[in-house]
Every structure is written in structure tokens, then in C-alpha cells.
Amino acid sequence: MQENELKRYEDIGNWDFSDIKYTTYQETNWDFYDEIKKHANSSSLLLDLGTGGGEKALSFLPDVGMIIATDFSREMIKTANENKKNYPNKKIKFVCMDNLKITFPEKLFDIVSARHTMIDAKQIYNVLNDNGYLVIEGVDKYDCWELKTLFHRGQAFHDPIAISKIDYENIKKAGFKEINMQEIIQYEYYETKEDLLALLLKTPILDDFSKLNTSKNLHNPSIEKDLFDKYVSTHTTSKGIELKRVLYAIVAKK
């Protein structure tokens, strides 16, 4: 159902959450961008897959020799090129490309990064230099689990095997030598219910983009008010409305 997913991202056209008011408490001491920094130097060639509107890549990816940042959505790449105007010194090029059909030459990149996007481990292996690194952060099956249980649906809710395990196995099968996987737990606190709703309407947390029925109105994913209100009333804390995020990190060396 890649077409549905592409259509949804084309419609959204950015991955900017700066209008949503929330704070984050990190329970796990791991940071995607710090991990990339560890393996990068001033001459590294870095490939960032599924970069969205480049919001994070432009702000947080380290200054290396050159960053190539890709996304299969033309709208996202258009936004990324607009956003780039605010970062005139960043050595980054945005390219429209499907992560599952990578056309770069073999062994071109020193590092491949992929945050919250689809990957094909074998294709990444092929474009990485010998001893190159892959750094992934993904959204796992048990992300926002209490919310998904209440709605009885959502991203990966019905998956028999967690996405993290599938990625790990595929990375191993692709031939990577050293692979480290870890769970990342973080708590997000949304200032108001409108802030939480804005998140849920924009992301695939409840309406998994790849599993949407084509007959459904893709612009208006439905959020049942009674269930939403129930979640808000049972998860309101002094810090805001709590959402427990469960992510996974994989760092692999070729």
C-alpha cells in the first residue's frame, strides 16, 4: 500500500510539528543525531533516507562533507528546498527517490541515516562504503500502546511481529557485521487536547497510512471523540497529556 502512503505524505507536504505545544522527557539515553555525529567527520558523505521536508536534517544532521537527503514525495522535497533557504551554509542536496528503489552507485556513502521511515537493508548495504554505518530510529509496535488499545487500531497494532525485529533480521541478513539494537522510551506531554489531536491527525499513529482503505477520505482521518476524550481524561497529568512513545534504535556497521 505504498501508493496510499505516498499520497498521504504528498498531501501533508511537510514534517513540521513546531505549532504543536509539547515537552519531552527522555527515559533512554540515546540520541539519533549524536549517534550519527559519532561516526561522521568533516569529509563524510551522508545519505539521509525519508527526510520529509528536511526539517530535522537541516537543523540536526552534523556538518560533514556532503549530505544527500532523499524522500519519495515530491511535495516533501519541494518543502525541503524551501526550508534550505534558511540554512545557506548547510552542505545538503535534496533528491526525490524511493527508499525501496535506491539508484546511487555502490559503496558511495560513509553513513546512511533513516529516521521514522521505510528501509530496505540490502539496498542500504550496497550503497554503503566498507566499514560504513547505518543509523536507524524507528517507531515500534508498542508505541502509544494505551492509545492504540483504546481505539483498537493504529500503526503496527495488528502486526504479529514488531517492526524492530523485522528490521533487525533484515539488517543481519543483508550482511552487516556489528548490529546493536535498543529500545527507546520517551514520554511526551501535550499542553492541550488540541495539541494532541493535531499530532494524531498528522501522523500515522492511529491511522496507519500504509493500511488505509483507498475508499476512505485520506484528508480526514477519523478520530472518535468519545475515545479521544476518554484517553485525555485518563492521561492528563500536571505536566500535560501524557503519551508514552516506544521507539527503537539500530546501529549497524558494514
Ligand X SMILES: C[S@@+](CC[C@H](N)C(=O)[O-])C[C@H]1O[C@@H](n2cnc3c(N)ncnc32)[C@H](O)[C@@H]1O
Chain contacts with ligand X (rule: CB under 6 A): 5, 9, 15, 50-52, 55-56, 71-73, 76, 98-100, 115-118
Cβ 167 to ligand X shortest distance, Å = 14
Nearer to ligand X, 33 or 187 (CB): 33
Nearer to ligand X, 56 or 235 (CB): 56
CA atoms of 70 and 96, how far apart (whole Å): 5
Nearer to ligand X, 72 or 157 (CB): 72
CA atoms of 96 and 49, how far apart (whole Å): 10
Which residues, including other chains, have CB under 8 Å from residue 216's CB and lie 6 or more apart? none
| CB count in 10 Å sphere of residue 131 | 10
Cβ 52 to ligand X shortest distance, Å = 3
CA atoms of 46 and 90, how far apart (whole Å): 13
CA atoms of 39 and 59, how far apart (whole Å): 18
Q: Are 249 and 35 in contact (CB under 8 A)?
A: yes
Nearer to ligand X, 137 or 195 (CB): 137
Nearer to ligand X, 9 or 248 (CB): 9
Task: List the beta strands (DSSP E) in 4-108.
Answer: 22-26, 45-49, 66-71, 92-96
In this structure, are strands 92-96 and 109-115 parallel, antiparallel, or unpaired? unpaired
Q: Scan for cell 477520505, then name that residue.
A: 217
Nearer to ligand X, 135 or 150 (CB): 135
Cβ 226 to ligand X shortest distance, Å = 28
| CB count in 10 Å sphere of residue 93 | 13
Coil, helix or strand for 170? Answer: helix
Nearer to ligand X, 103 or 234 (CB): 103
Q: Are 115 and 137 in contact (CB under 8 A)?
A: yes
Cβ 5 to ligand X shortest distance, Å = 6
Cβ 125 to ligand X shortest distance, Å = 17
Cβ 83 to ligand X shortest distance, Å = 12
Cβ 157 to ligand X shortest distance, Å = 17
Q: Are 170 and 118 in contact (CB under 8 A)?
A: no
